[in-house]
């Protein structure tokens, strides 16, 4: 389907400098009545669900880039939260299209997992990482993010399981090896905490 004016897919420079709503860093006032927003919506009505999912994913990626450049913490978090919403829209639309590649969905879940990690939504991050792994069992980033989320949740068993499964896909990455040492350390801590809890429970009898 044709894109709104200024979104010629053959011109990256035109796209990057376009005022189209697809490239807004933030919504202006009364954006729903903005001509560019209306034009984008009209174009997206002609998209297949997968094509619409690709558009939402791109907007999510744009928000991530804005978050990285933001000078203030509250703006970083705002863009990160917006990225989560956009990746969620991409996932929802992608699931409507039977032609959606599993790798695309895996990437969307993986990207959302990273944002949820950053926002300290650890349970959601773990669920997203596990879904990304289910769709693409070779994704080192998904294993890495899943392990980190599990560690934050003090789920040593889950962290160890994901960590071990990800080792064949880590390519000897040093950061991944350091993460696995962290898994071992947390496993020891959790074991000691459980033993202490058990001891206190016995003493209270």
pLDDT in tens, 185-194: 998 988 888 8
- What is the average pLDDT across 62-72? 96
Distance (Å, rounded) from C-alpha 183 to C-alpha 159?
A: 6
pLDDT for the residue numbered 31: 58
Angle, alpha carbons 51-56-58 (nearest 5°):
95
> Which is nearest to 188 in space by CA: 160, 163, 165, 162?
160
Burial class (CB within 10 angstroms; exposed 0-12, middle 13-18, buried 19+) of 81:
middle
Asked if residue 24 lies in contact with residue 58, where contact means CB atoms within 8 angstroms, the answer is no
Give the pLDDT of residue 159. 96
For residue 22, pLDDT beyond 60: no
User: If residue 72 lies in a helix (H) or strand (E), which one and from where to where?
Assistant: none
Could you read off the pLDDT of 123-164 as tens digits, one per residue? 999 999 999 999 999 999 999 999 999 999 999 999 999 999
Return d(Cα 3, Cα 17) in angstroms, integer: 15
pLDDT digits (tens, 9 = 90+) for 165-184: 999 999 999 999 999 999 99
> pTM of the full predicted structure?
0.77
Higher local confidence (pLDDT), 105 or 193: 105
pLDDT at 16 over 50: no
- Distance (Å) of CA 150 to CA 73, 123, 127, 163, 196: 25, 8, 10, 10, 22
Which pLDDT belongs to residue 81?
Answer: 97
Share of the chain above pLDDT 70, in %: 81
* Residues 6+ positions from 120 with CB-CB distance below 8 Å: 152
Give the largest CA-CA distance in the chain: 75
Rounded mean pLDDT, 83-94:
97
Q: What is the pLDDT of residue 34?
A: 73
């Amino acid at each position: 389907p044709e894109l709104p004016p200024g979104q010629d897919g053959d011109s990256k420079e035109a796209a990057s400098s376009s005022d189209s709503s697809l490239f807004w860093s933030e919504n202006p006032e009364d954006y729903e009545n903005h001509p560019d927003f209306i034009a984008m919506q009209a174009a997206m009505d002609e998209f297949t669900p997968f094509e619409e999912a690709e558009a939402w994913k791109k907007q999510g990626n744009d928000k991530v880039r804005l978050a990285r450049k933001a000078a203030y913490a509250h703006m970083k978090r705002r863009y990160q939260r917006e990225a989560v919403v956009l990746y969620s829209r991409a996932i929802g639309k992608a699931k409507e299209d039977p032609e959606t590649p599993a790798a695309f969905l895996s990437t969307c879940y993986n990207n959302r997992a990273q944002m949820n990690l950053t926002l300290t939504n650890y349970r959601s991050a773990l669920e997203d990482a596990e879904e990304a792994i289910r769709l693409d069992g070779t994704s080192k980033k998904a294993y890495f993010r899943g392990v980190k989320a599990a560690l934050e949740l003090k789920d040593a068993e889950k962290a160890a399981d994901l960590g071990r499964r990800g080792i064949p896909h880590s390519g000897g990455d040093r950061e991944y090896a350091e993460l696995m040492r962290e898994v071992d350390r947390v496993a020891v801590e959790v074991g000691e905490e459980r033993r202490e809890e058990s001891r206190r429970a016995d003493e209270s009898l």
